[in-house]
């Protein structure tokens, strides 16, 4: 039984370390992307972001859900601020 407990403890330590490293790498990458975005925005004027109009009224809800998922992913990646996310969400939902 002690060998099993030692194996479980070792696995927990390795998983915890991997999670911590992964989170740190993710934060560093997000910071780098933010710097690149800032440099690009400073170099070129920002164009207003608009969602494409839905093609079919039957697919309207599906399109809205897909657009909201994309916005959520962009926000999670740090590409959108909370204010930009809220503005785009209001635009999509009407």
Q: What is the pLDDT of residue 53?
A: 58
pTM, rounded to two decimals: 0.38
What is d(CA 42, CA 63) in angstroms, rounded to the nearest whole number? 32
For the chain, percent of residues with pLDDT exceeding 70: 81
Q: What is the pLDDT of residue 22?
A: 83
- Taking only the tens place, the pLDDT of each residue in 44-82 is 655 556 666 555 555 688 888 888 888 888 888 888 888
Residue in the block written with tokens 């790498």: 25
Q: What is the pLDDT of residue 66?
A: 87
Residue in the block written with tokens 């093609």: 55
What is d(CA 42, CA 39) in angstroms, rounded to the nearest whole number? 5
């Amino acid at each position: 039984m002690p060998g099993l407990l030692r194996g479980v403890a070792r696995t927990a330590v390795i998983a915890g370390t991997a999670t911590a490293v992964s989170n740190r790498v993710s934060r560093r990458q997000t910071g780098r992307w933010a710097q690149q975005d800032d440099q690009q925005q400073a170099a070129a004027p920002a164009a207003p972001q608009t969602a494409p109009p839905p093609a079919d009224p039957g697919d309207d809800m599906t399109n809205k859900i897909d657009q909201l998922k994309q916005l959520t992913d962009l926000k999670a990646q740090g590409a959108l601020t909370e204010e930009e996310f809220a503005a785009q969400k209001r635009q999509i939902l009407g």
